[in-house]
Amino acid sequence: MTEVLRILIAPLVWLASFSAIYGLHGLLCQNALAAVAGFPAERAVLMAAYGVAIALQIILLWILHHPRFAAPSGLLRFVSRASGWTGLIASVWTLFPVVALPTCF
Amino acid sequence: MNALERHRKLTEIWASDKGFKGWFSTVNHNDLGRMFLVTAFFFFIVGGLLAMLIRVQLATPHSAFAGPEIYNQIFTMHGTVMMFLFAIPTFEGLAIYLLPKMLGTRDLAFPRLTAYGFWCYAFGGSMLIVAMLFGIAPDGGWFMYPPLTSAIHSPGINADFWLIGITFVEISAIAAAVEITVSVLKYRAPSMSLAKMPIFAWYALITALMILTGFPPLILGSVLLELERAFGLPFFQVDLGGDSLLWQHLFWLFGHPEVYIIFLPAAGVISTVLPVMCRTTLLGYGWIVSAAVALAFLSFGLWVHHMFTTGIPHMGLAFFSAASTLVAVPTGVQIFAWIGTMWKGRPELHLPMLHILGFFFTFVIGGLTGVMVAVVPFDWQAHDTAFITAHLHYVLFGGFVFPIFAGVYYWLPHFTGRKRFFCLGELAFALVFVGFHVTFLAMHWVGLLGQRRRIPTYAPEDGWTAINLISSVGSFILAIGIAMILVDVVLHIVTAHRGRRNPWNATTLEWAMITPAPAYTFASLPRITWRDPLSAEPDLAVSLARGEGYLGTPRHNWRETLAVDIASGKPEMHVLYPANTRLPILMSAVTGLFFLSLLMKFYWTVPLAMGGVAFLAWKWVWGLGLRQDQAVQSVGHGLSLPNAATVARSPGWWGTAFLLTANATFFGALLFGFAFLWTIAPGWPPPAWFTPSIFELGVGISGAALAPLAIRHATRVNESGGTPFPTVILALCGIVALGFACASLMWRAPTPNEHAYGATMLVLGGYGTFHTAISGLMGGFLTAQIRSGYTSANRRAAFPIVGLWVKYTSATGVIILLAAHLPGLIP
Amino acid sequence: MILLVFSFRRNSESGVEARQESIWILGFGLVFPAVILGALLAYGLVIGAQLSPQNGANAVKVTAEARRWEWRFTYADAPALETTGTLHIPAGRPVDIAITTADVIHSFWVPRLAGKLDAIPGHINTLRLEADMPGTYKGVSAEFSGAGYEAFTFRVIAHTEAGWTKFLQGQPE
């Protein structure tokens, strides 16, 4: 089962962080927060969450590449690393609007 | 024993009963796979006829062919039948028929469950067809948006048929998904590691896992909407604290993964058939597996792109727009891996290959229009027009029907053992291809001119007359083509030209047997050390028939096979299958009685049906019990393995684990619904919160803590040879305490008819109570087994399974109680 | 698809499989779509953001309430006015339309002026549109709403500045 988990974990974490940030965004825009030093607080919170999501993926990717945790067989190693990269790229790409767009319109 | 004697003996053991009566008692995947496929294609014809009626209606302006009431039923049923009664069951049927053969084993993990799933599908589908014949079919569109489908705006029984019928059919999807997952992971030929699995098995595994996590939100949505319709619990009524957007979220949380649940098996067919047609091996096996995994996950992050016009903040849309474009990348990886495969080999234009080319052409166009609608501003214009209808048909017809036709023609010799004689197929392909593109290119065009989807008619001034007529003519060409394919297949089945084994010179295991496949599938089980076993050992079929593999000697009238370690494929246990029985059809009939009682509002038969299901389930599992301890069994080649009933992680444990995965998704969706209503729905906070009670909370949580600990202890005591009886009773007490707290939550839920909060509390409490009832039943079963001497330190497999249920019930129970009591306790 | 045709023409000289893998999958499968999609996405998001109603200080405010099967429009500048089936707006000025519904889900769509936006029970969605020229524009409800759906249409009349003032004062043109 660990072999299957190794493949699933990174995209699963992406899915969780993606849904969490989408939900967080909805919540933040429902109840406006006070701006901190001229910088909208919603945006700061979302960007922090974005950072955490990417950091998590980088850690996972490192773990999947680390010889101690990597899968024994060649194909499974390849697939688990590919899905690790998928998780990282998906996190950066799909949550990019946090940085690029106005927060609550 | 020579090969012929072995064949006779094994056939005697494995065959279903003679004649048509055998259909009702068979549990063999060979029969059930065929039955699934035939039924699915019957529904395909029904859905196709409905499509023809739609095109007749739209062929001319001011058409008087069908009134809006009938027309609304026609298009709703067309979508529903094609999605739920054709596409998903076709995958299930194909996987059920092929997987044991490709994986080198004799049957799927749970043969009776396969049969149960089939009969649920057949009965549930029939309910919808009967509704259609009586003119009371669902008419709210295949995605059934409330409030249009709520009791106020659709008072008739039509919507109930959809909600109840589809939920019934979904049981078969969940059953098949559990079955396929466990079979791919555990039921393979010795030494077939994950890396040596045929690519179709990877696709089937990923699809099955997606069904387990994608379908529960839809089932939840259907349950909630039916509760609202039947008992007035206002989950989707905005003036009572509900929100119709919740349905859209739940529906598309299922609906988008559904598209890939349909596409991935088709991609599996292509990845299997294409290399054979090109006389080569698949390019980039690892890449394709990775791409399929990526696609499966990304597809769960797309659901809001069906809701771009619902007024969600722009950044929210942007997340999903980004995810929708990203999903094209793994799709692209697969497409280019296939093109690379063709480039590397020597493509031969056999009939399956023609359909694959049809797939390429159609699906790529569908993908391109898909990228167009992923762009938010474009979607704001195209949404809900015929453009979207055309796009989804390019994706689904291109991405599913063409590959399935390729698969049908590719495996037809396997199904029948015959050679194709008439050359109708090529002409039929040409008609289908031309007809399809004429129909749906025209539909793109008319959509861009502003024709909305689902309108029953239009005026000549709109300027759509000519295009619609072209589209309708195209659809009739398409229909003639499909009819010819069906005729071709039937002619193939009835003509008597025996073909040779493995006509395509394929390299996968399913061709290493006589065709049509014998009831026992493999006379002996191969040892697999190559991904393309038949190119490494061309004479494998003969050697297996001679009984040179594992389990080559029929004995004791056993239906036996092996289960293996997930990753390495090392043989792990010896499995005995149950024989033919009518229990599955009986159980699905009683399940049907439950759904029918709900539909007809005969509420007094509901508990009767539930009791019936519980009784039959008891009987079902009781029949597997063993009176004597099981010694290790020799399986040939000097290998001896323990019986599946004597291991900690039996197939049943794995099945339970995956069923609970689906269940957990259902529960997660329920919690999401609660949070969504609380934060987004207007009309909150509710007039009254649930009155918390420290006593109930304490009793419930202590019960939830006690039960798993006790059952764990019981498992250990049993393994070390002690008497587990007292601790099992202790676990039961814990379950009862938790059940009391949950039932009290149901009982005291504040005015469930007047606010969605109270309704949610009722459902949460009901979920907890229901699960404590199941766990209680299982605990009772275990006690009865211990009392009757069916368990011992050796026969221990039942304990961990009950343990899983108890742990799950306790964990969800604690969450439910906290979610109910905490808001009132925190000031 | 052109590549597809070529795969038939070419005779197979067995190349190095690893190299083929990297060309087909990495080159065509990963890099090529990623670049195109990135550009497309950025373009779509920028346009989408521009179309969203922001800084609506000088926008004309109207509300649109749908029911089966008619639209009722009210005007912030003339609270007593209500029109059914026809929305009046000034040409050349941005208009914010607050959209909601009294019964089932509908969708407000004037193809020549803007994209669609749904009318959802209990929610108010705001659509920004602007008519460049005075005139009459056709609108439809674009969400299936039962048996009267196909005839559920409305019109938008964009007035000149003078016509708009007259309309607000309750005088027919």
Identify the pLDDT of residue C53. 63
* Residues C138 and C158 placed together within one structural domain of the fold: yes
Residues B760-790 pLDDT 10s: 999 999 999 999 999 999 999 999 999 999 9
Mean pLDDT on B451-474: 92
* Residues C45 and C92 placed together within one structural domain of the fold: no
Neighbouring chains of B at 3+ CB pairs under 8 Å are: A, C
At B777 the three-state DSSP class reads helix
* Residues C104 and C36 placed together within one structural domain of the fold: no
Name the CA radius of gyration of chain B, rounded: 27
Query: Is the pLDDT assigned to residue A37 strictly greater than 70?
Result: no
Contact predicate B373/B420, CB 8 Å: no
* Residues C92 and C44 placed together within one structural domain of the fold: no
Which band of pLDDT confidence, cut at 50, 70 and 90, is reported for residue C9?
Answer: very low
Count of the separate structural domains present in chain C? 2
Mean pLDDT on B798-824: 95
Q: Is C84 on the interface with A (CB under 8 A)?
A: no
Distance CA B70, CA A63 (A): 59
pLDDT, chain A, mean: 84
* Residues C66 and C34 placed together within one structural domain of the fold: no
Mean pLDDT on B18-31: 92
Domain annotation covers residue C34: yes
Nearest-by-CA chain C residue for B310: C118
* Residues C148 and C80 placed together within one structural domain of the fold: yes
Nearest-by-CA chain C residue for A103: C49
Domain annotation covers residue C156: yes
Identify the pLDDT of residue B127. 94
* Residues C37 and C99 placed together within one structural domain of the fold: no
A-interface mutation test, from B246, B290, B298, most A Cβ less than 10 A away: B290
Q: Which residues of B touch A50 (CB under 8 A)?
A: none
Identify the pLDDT of residue A31. 66
Q: Which residues of B touch C43 (CB under 8 A)?
A: 375
* Residues C45 and C70 placed together within one structural domain of the fold: no
* Residues C126 and C82 placed together within one structural domain of the fold: yes
Report C:136-155 residues touching B (Cβ under 8 A): 140, 142-150
Mean pLDDT on C100-112: 93
Mean pLDDT on B616-634: 91
Mean pLDDT on B53-57: 94
Peptide bond into B198 cis (omega under 30): no
Residues B107-144 pLDDT 10s: 999 999 999 999 999 999 999 999 999 999 999 888 89
CATH 1.20.210.10 domain extents, chain B: 22-242+539-620+638-648, 267-505
* Residues C47 and C128 placed together within one structural domain of the fold: no
At B80 the three-state DSSP class reads helix
Query: What spatial distance separates the first Cα and last Cα of chain C, rounded to whole Å?
Result: 58
Q: Is C98 on the interface with B (CB under 8 A)?
A: no
**CATH code that applies to domain B685-825:** 1.20.120.80
Residues B194-233 pLDDT 10s: 999 999 999 999 999 999 999 999 999 999 999 999 999 9
Mean pLDDT on B38-48: 96
CA atoms within 13 A on the CB side of C170: 5
State which of C51, C68, C85 marks the end of a domain.
C51
Closest CB from B312, B314, B322 relative to A96: B322
Tell me yes or no: is domain B267-505 CATH 1.20.210.10: yes
Closest of C105, C108, C93 to residue C163, by C-alpha: C93
**Checking DSSP bridges between strand C106-109 and strand C135-141, what pairing results, if any?**
antiparallel
The secondary element (H helix, E strand) that includes residue C6 is helix C2-9
For residues C114, C117, C122, C123, the Cα torsion angle rounded to the nearest 10 degrees is -70
pLDDT, chain B, mean: 93
Residues B569-581 pLDDT 10s: 999 999 999 999 9
* Residues C77 and C158 placed together within one structural domain of the fold: yes
Q: Is A37 on the interface with C (CB under 8 A)?
A: no
Mention every residue, 6+ apart, whose C-beta is less than 8 A from residue B266: B359, B399, B400, B402, B403, B404, B407
Q: Measure in Å the smallest separation between the Cα of B201 and chain A Cα atoms.
A: 14
Which band of pLDDT confidence, cut at 50, 70 and 90, is reported for residue C13?
Answer: very low
CB atoms within 10 A of CB B556: 7
Residues A59-73 pLDDT 10s: 999 998 888 877 777
State which of C51, C73, C90 marks the end of a domain.
C51
Q: Measure in Å the smallest separation between the Cα of B486 and chain C Cα atoms.
A: 29
Question: How big, in percent rounded to 5, are the helix, strand and coil portions of chain C?
Answer: 30, 35, 35
Query: Is the pLDDT assigned to residue C8 strictly greater than 70?
Result: no
Mean pLDDT on B352-377: 89
For residues B739, B742, B744, B750, the Cα torsion angle rounded to the nearest 10 degrees is -170
- CA C101 to chain CA centroid, Å, is 18
Which band of pLDDT confidence, cut at 50, 70 and 90, is reported for residue C11?
Answer: very low
Residues B252-280 pLDDT 10s: 999 999 999 999 999 999 999 999 999 99
Query: Is the pLDDT assigned to residue B103 strictly greater than 60?
Result: yes
* Residues C94 and C153 placed together within one structural domain of the fold: yes
Q: Measure in Å the smallest separation between the Cα of C107 and chain A Cα atoms.
A: 19
Q: Which two tokens stand for residue B660?
A: 């609970």
Neighbouring chains of A at 3+ CB pairs under 8 Å are: B, C
Contact predicate A98/A48, CB 8 Å: no
The CATH number for C82's domain is: 2.60.40.420
Q: Is A105 on the interface with C (CB under 8 A)?
A: yes
- CA B13 to chain CA centroid, Å, is 30
Identify the pLDDT of residue B725. 92
CB contact under 8 A, B311 and C121: no
Which band of pLDDT confidence, cut at 50, 70 and 90, is reported for residue A24?
Answer: confident
Q: Which residues of B touch A104 (CB under 8 A)?
A: 313, 315
Contact predicate B57/B65, CB 8 Å: yes
Closest CB from C45, C52, C53 relative to A97: C45
Q: Say which CATH class B22-242+539-620+638-648 falls into.
A: mainly alpha
Q: Which domain holds residue C36?
A: 2-51
Percentage of the residues of chain B whose pLDDT score is greater than 90:
77
Identify the pLDDT of residue B378. 85
Residue C64's DSSP bridge partners are C73, C99
Domain annotation covers residue C82: yes
Query: Is the pLDDT assigned to residue B376 strictly greater than 60?
Result: yes
Domain annotation covers residue C40: yes
ipTM metric? 0.92
Report A:59-98 residues touching C (Cβ under 8 A): 97
Domain annotation covers residue C173: no
Closest CB from B239, B309, B455 relative to C150: B455
Identify the pLDDT of residue B343. 86
Report B:296-315 residues touching C (Cβ under 8 A): 309-311, 314
The secondary element (H helix, E strand) that includes residue B416 is helix B402-416
Mention every residue, 6+ apart, whose C-beta is less than 8 A from residue B534: B502, B506, B507, B508, B509, B511, B512, B540, B541
Identify the pLDDT of residue B462. 87
pTM for the model stands at 0.94
Give the least confident one: B297-311, B540-554, B798-812: B297-311
Looking up tokens 């096979």, which residue turns up?
A: B561
Closest of B737, B579, B790, B755 to residue B674, by C-alpha: B755
Domain annotation covers residue C36: yes
Per-residue b/e over B35-53, b at no fewer than 16 CB within 10 Å? Answer: bbbebbbebbebbbebbbb
Identify the pLDDT of residue C18. 63
CB atoms within 10 A of CB B67: 12
